[in-house]
Amino acid sequence: MDRLLSLALLLLWSSSFCQGADRPNILWITSEDNSPYLGCYGDMQAQTPHLDRFSKQGVRYLNAFSSAPVCSAARSTLITGMNASTLGIHNHRSSVPVPGGVVYYPQVFREAGYYCTNNSKTDYNMSIKGKRASWKDVGWHESSGRAHYRNRRKDQPFFAVFNTTLSHEGQTTDKAYRGRMKQNPPRRVVPPGEVILPPYHPDTPIIRENWSRYFDNLFLMDKWVGDKLRELEELGEADNTIVFYYADHGGALPRGKRNIHDSGSRVPLIIRLPEKWKHLAPGKPGETSDHLVAFVDFPATAVNLCGLEIPGIWEGRPFLGPGAQEREFVYLFRGRMDERYDTVRAIRTKEHLYVHNFSPHRPLGQAYTYPFRVLASMGSWHEAFRAGKCNEVQARYWQRKEAEELYVIQTDPFQIRNLADEKDYRDVFNGLRTKLRDEILRTRDTGLIPEGMYARLAGSGTIHEFAQGEDYLAKEVLIAASKAVRGDLGVGFSFSRRCVHHDSPLMRYWGATGALILGKEAAPLKDDLLELLDDPVLDVRVVAAEALGHLGESAKGLPVLVKVVNEGNVYESLAAANALEALGRDGAVPMATIKAVIPKKVRAEGARVVEAIEKIR
């Protein structure tokens, strides 16, 4: 059915529903880069009096998760009501075409007569009709630093979003922090020497200072939230408005944001329902809910609370209102962050976290340009690691990952003891592994498709449409990828050889990736990999060339990587730049050799490529 017709029918339905009924306003108050480091969540270091007070007026969720641990993928999930991984818009700061049938939640509210404002971050990884998606494309009436529900017609209901960057990772720099000296609390919320560090961070003065500044920033964020709540009261709308407060993902220090563990994905969520809608609340004011909820559920829940019809294309389910459903687990994902590739999927239940790393050869702590620039703690941690001053838990951030991980939440809240190989947890492990694979196949997750192949495979359509179609060998690709990361390449590498000679470039890609992950043990595949240096698909050439670098064939592999940097599309070039950096970092090829072959100039439009190359230099 045509989207406009669907929305017209939705408007007709909602209008009849609301005749003689009072419709609630919806206000979303969001902060950036903060895990539940709030007093009301039991954090003894935080000073967050406004949110602590607000939590006594609403219900505090203990198991709320951003579907992805970075802003653009998280916000792309929210705006579409679909997992960004389903639509192929999960890679950070991308611009991927999406099908015309996607329904954005501001459109639903707008068609139902709501005044919809966004103040002001968008950060959507989508393109519509050949252009990067704008706020107008998704249905906002206003989207700017001045957007406000005050601008609506009298008696018109509103849906409003207000976002603050006060808790963002970039606010811990000297320039940002000192620039707010007049706003900062009169004394440190937590002096550096009194900070209680998480076990994965080494104890350095710089890391302590970063944490101390972060708690000061959370204090300011809390004050900002209080201002928004007070404004709602002063405008006489508090009794008419359902308020959500949440963070866009975890953070902000290293191993928070960009990381799929709880430190990057678990967020605070507090929902206050006024007296007239208290019957829709999951509990009494001041109570908690342990229900599992994810960002993909937020649009469906807001629509449901207002008595509107949930679009059939949405993947989320309502956790409040009529027909609310409780989840058994939430599905988490991450793809490219900044200029670094890493594919991770996870299943989180109330009791366990299962993680599947599809790029175990890449560490969590890659050479990200932005966090190294704005987080002094990132550099300090890396220096401590290189100096041998990190214990086993702290060093793990900079080392190759395990292919699979399993954690018990109650006894291991920081998720530092991997039980994936423990016999006592074999049934739990197998059960969650099966759930993850089922979810990848059910949603036709696009995460196992290299970003550089999107345009080739999508053709005149979208990568979502390709992944939903018969041409995408979803099960075969998942099997190949899973075997690759575990080193299960078949007797005499028979499975790998079937993959690298397959008609599908995706199968060839994962066949070569299995050899790359195996390193020197993949020597029997050398001739097969050499053939792939001439593969018609550049992403396949890239992974084959990197694998050959570990097999003493850098003289043949490096020129291929340099050529792709210069001639590939932006994402192919970026993958090649990542491969060059990794070969040097891993010691497979001397860094001096890598630097010698790096081109003096790379294409200006590939800003991420330039960053990756400059990191090598």
pLDDT of 154-205, one tens digit each?
999 999 999 999 999 999 999 999 998 888 888 999 999 999 999 999 999 9
The predicted structure's pLDDT at residue 207: 99
Instruction: Report the pLDDT averaged over residues 480-484.
Output: 98
Helix (H) or strand (E) holding 73: helix 71-80
pLDDT band at 258 (very low <50, low <70, confident <90, very high): very high
Answer yes or no: is pLDDT of 15 > 70.
no
Whether residue 550 lies inside any domain: the answer is yes
CA distance 295 to 464: 20
Q: Residue 603's pLDDT band (boundaries 50, 70, 90)? A: low
For 54-77, write each residue's pLDDT tens digit. 999 999 999 999 999 999 999 999
Crossing angle of helices 554-567 and 570-585, rounded to 10°: 150
CATH number of 122's domain: 3.40.720.10
Helix, strand, coil content of the chain in percent (nearest 5) = 45, 15, 40
pLDDT, mean of residues 593-597: 90
Section 384-405 average pLDDT: 99
Give the domain-ending residue among 310, 327, 344.
327
- Residue 9: pLDDT over 80: no
- For the segment 278-288, the average pLDDT, to the nearest whole number, is 97
Whether the CA torsion 509, 511, 512, 515 is positive or negative: it is: positive
Question: For the stretch 582-604, what's the b/e string if a residue is b when 16 or more beta carbons lie within 10 angstroms of its beta carbon?
Answer: bbbbbebbeeeebeeebeeebbe
The confidence score (pLDDT) of residue 16 equals: 38
Percentage of the chain with pLDDT > 70?
Answer: 96
Give the C-alpha separation, 134 to 124, whole Å. 8
pLDDT digits (tens, 9 = 90+) for 210-253: 999 999 999 999 999 999 999 999 999 999 999 999 999 999 99
Q: With respect to residue 592, please indicate whether it lies within any of the assigned structural domains.
A: yes
In a domain? residue 432? no
On the question of pLDDT at 414 being above 90, the answer is yes
- What band does 429 get if pLDDT is binned at 50, 70 and 90? very high
Looking at the DSSP assignment, which residues form a beta bridge with residue 161? 28, 118
Residue of higher predicted confidence among 5 and 249: 249
Average pLDDT over residues 86-93: 98
- Among the candidates 307, 327, 347, a domain finishes at 327
Average pLDDT over residues 84-91: 99
How many domains does the chain contain in total?
2
Residue 339: the pLDDT is 94
Would you state the pLDDT for residue 204? Answer: 99
Domain boundary (327, 351, 385) is at 327
Q: Answer yes or no: is pLDDT of 145 > 50.
A: yes
Range of the domain at 163: 3-171+240-327
Please report whether residue 532 resides in a domain: yes
Neighbours of 301 (CB within 10 A): 22
Residue 62 lies in a domain: yes
Show the CA angle centred on residue 213, arms to residues 212 and 217, nearest 5°: 120
Closest by Cα among 61, 84, 42, 26 to 326: 61
491 band by pLDDT with thresholds 50, 70 and 90: confident
**Residue 485, CA atoms < 13 Å, CB-side half-sphere:** 24
In the chain, % of residues over pLDDT 90: 91
- pTM for this entry: 0.95
Residue 457 lies in a domain: no
* Buried-exposed string 96-120: b where 16+ CB fall within 10 A, e elsewhere: bbbeeebbbbbbbbbbbebbbbbbb
Rounded to the nearest 10 degrees, what angle do helices 505-518 and 474-486 cross at?
Answer: 10
d(CA 71, CA 92) in angstroms, rounded, equals 8
Q: Tell me how far CA of residue 544 lies from CA of 325, 336, 500, 521, 561, in angstroms.
A: 46, 20, 10, 14, 10
SS3 575: helix
Q: pLDDT tier at 611 (50, 70, 90 boundaries)? A: confident
Residue 44 domain flag: yes
Q: Is residue 345 part of a domain?
A: no
CA nearest to 124, candidates 163, 166, 78, 68? 78
Contact 34, 167 (CB under 8 A): yes
